[in-house]
Structure 1
Amino acid sequence: MKSAQPLNGRHALVTGGSRGIGFAVAQQLAGLGARITLMGRDAAALDEAAGRLSGQARVGFVRGDIAQRGQVLQAFAQAREAFGSIDILVNNAGQAESQRFDRVDEETWQRMIAVNLSGTFHCMQAALPDMLERKWGRIVNVASTAGLIGYAYVSAYCAAKHGVIGLTRALALEVARKGITVNAVCPGYTETDIVHGAVENIVNRTGVSPDQARATLAERNPQGRLVQPDEVARAVAWLCLPDAGSINGQAIPVDGGEVMAG
């Protein structure tokens, strides 16, 4: 009989873990038996989120900005001190800003790359030595359908998320024989702070109501709705299971059928 907690004894670090998809992922992994480290920038939000999970598993948090390599290394070292080697890394933290391409300034471009792409790179490099030593690991990058297709007015975000997909595939090949898998999950428009910001932006630019703005985003999904964080989290959790060892280098859309592999 298979264990009800197949990740028992594993240590999972989830970036952007205090809310939205990150918190939902942490809930799923805790339910599967993993020890959980939440990482983010807001200590109060992390503390509150860890408290909500504390009855489900051993949970801690570390504070750090994934765009700053030094902060990543320090945070990961603190996570190891608390819960041991990192077996599972979920790169969920991200940020999106909307602007017409010819108005994207250098600062915005660099910020989108730093948070969404370089931050993923920093965290992967920080976690990988533990996985190589233990000959087992799961890395799941929460990318976006924007990493698979183009979206107007978020060119820098699209470029960064396309980069995350490429990085995922490259590392997956490097570690394919080392007991480690590297995959990406690509949500469509999901009920998160990023979408709430997109709704506000549409309202401000067009004058439509918030409900109309949400409907505009939901129209991209053939199911006519926004994806829910728990739906993304369940896909992430599946990729972290021991039984998912043959799934490697994939970018899996969670979008109701908006993006289909050709």
Structure 2
Amino acid sequence: MDQDLNGRHALVTGGGTGIGLAIAQMLAARGAKVTITGRRGAVLEEAAAANPGLFPLVMDVADEASVVQGVADAIAARGPVTICVANAGIAEGKSMGKMDLAFWRNMMAINLDGAYLTVRECLGGMLAESWGRTIFVASIAGLKGLKGAPAYSASKHGMIGLMRGLSEEYMGSDLTFNALCPGYVDTDIVTRNTQSIADRAGIDPEQARQMMVKTNRHKRLITSDEVAAMAALLVGPNSGSLNGQTYEIAGGQM
């Protein structure tokens, strides 16, 4: 693979597993120094041990002080962040009637506030370098909403709104902002949700898994590498005109 990102510093939140790790590995393979963040140090260390281009950093995106200090530490170690991937998030369904304010606020704190804080802290380096690529890992739930998951859908809609606002704010510069909107991806989140759906619906786990599989238009789970392949286009040498867009990765038209 071309080393077209040689010398770039990328930061990927939730970079120890799943989509985040796949994107981080892609960036490292192209020459970037990649800071991967998350709340579980052991998971990050394991991912970094398998790839010398990854650098682990324990950071909680829902905690402003943690993000401010974490990004500052990453910049001190590896220079300005010019590729920011706001990937960290949670996915949990709960109907409106069963949702309390604590559930709502936790969803927003991690999925939306976390993206805002991460990008805010990375933006200065992009402006100083006059080049930057920001990718928000959203969801098809950010475009059409998911039944039984209004809080999750709202958080991803908010993320896309943030992306679109930033793309307009920095229009004309060499900073771009885009969102990936995958369907159900074969990650730990789907594994956890399988049991949750089974419990709520009173069905067995395999039936619950098939409910998610059938939501994807091509009737299979998406791989993390398929999402990373789209991310690769958004940071590549000819990506300057890819800006303010949502990219559906759902196996067909939604």
* TM tier, smaller: over 0.9
In the TM superposition, what whole-angstrom CA distance separates every residue of 1:114-152 from its partner, at most 9, and x where no partner exists? 100010000110000100011000000000000000111
The one of 210, 214, 218 aligned to 1:215: 210
1:61: how far off? 1.6
1:61–1:79 contact (8 Å) kept in structure 2 = no
Partner-residue secondary structure (3-state), 1:226: coil
1:221–1:258 contact (8 Å) kept in structure 2 = no
In the TM superposition, what whole-angstrom CA distance separates every residue of 1:8-35 from its partner, at most 9, and x where no partner exists? 1101000000000000001111111111
The one of 12, 29, 32 aligned to 2:30: 32
Q: Give the aligned partner of residue 46 of structure 1.
A: 44
1:93–1:116 contact (8 Å) kept in structure 2 = yes
Q: Distance in 2 between matches of 1:117 and 1:96?
A: 12
What is the TM-score normalised by the length of structure 1?
A: 0.94
Matched AA of 2:3: Q
Q: Distance in 2 between matches of 1:10 and 1:171?
A: 21
Q: Distance in 1 between matches of 2:179 and 2:232?
A: 12
Q: Distance in 2 between matches of 1:12 and 1:80?
A: 10
In the TM superposition, what whole-angstrom CA distance separates every residue of 1:28-85 from its partner, at most 9, and x where no partner exists? 111111111001111111111111111xx3x212111101111101000110111111
Q: Distance in 2 between matches of 1:215 and 1:96?
A: 17
Q: Distance in 1 between matches of 2:50 and 2:213?
A: 30
1:143-154 matches, cutoff 5 A: 143-154=138-149
1:6–1:242 contact (8 Å) kept in structure 2 = yes
1:188–1:258 contact (8 Å) kept in structure 2 = no
In the TM superposition, what whole-angstrom CA distance separates every residue of 1:158-209 from its partner, at most 9, and x where no partner exists? 0010000000000011112221000000010111122112211122123333
Partner-residue secondary structure (3-state), 1:219: helix
1:89–1:140 contact (8 Å) kept in structure 2 = yes
Q: Distance in 2 between matches of 1:94 and 1:117?
A: 8
1:258: how far off? 4.5
1:230: how far off? 0.6
Quick check: 1:185 aligned with 2:174?
no
In the TM superposition, what whole-angstrom CA distance separates every residue of 1:76-101 from its partner, at most 9, and x where no partner exists? 01101111110100011000221111
Q: Distance in 2 between matches of 1:126 and 1:52?
A: 28
Q: Give the aligned partner of residue 90 of structure 1.
A: 85
1:103: how far off? 1.3
Matched AA of 1:90: V
User: Where does structure 2 lack aligned partners over 5 or more consecutive residues?
Assistant: none
Q: Distance in 2 between matches of 1:132 and 1:251?
A: 23
Moved over 4 A (4+): none
The one of 147, 151, 154 aligned to 1:159: 154
Q: Distance in 1 between matches of 2:24 and 2:167?
A: 23
The one of 6, 9, 27 aligned to 1:8: 6
Matched AA of 1:53: N
1:242: how far off? 2.4
Question: Considering only aligned residues, what root-mean-square deviation do their CA atoms show, in Å?
Answer: 1.1
Q: Give the aligned partner of residue 226 of structure 1.
A: 221
1:168-183 matches, cutoff 5 A: 168-183=163-178
Matched AA of 1:89: C
Q: Distance in 1 between matches of 2:238 and 2:37?
A: 26
1:189–1:217 contact (8 Å) kept in structure 2 = yes
Q: Distance in 1 between matches of 2:150 and 2:188?
A: 19
Q: Give the aligned partner of residue 120 of structure 2.
A: 125
1:220–1:258 contact (8 Å) kept in structure 2 = no
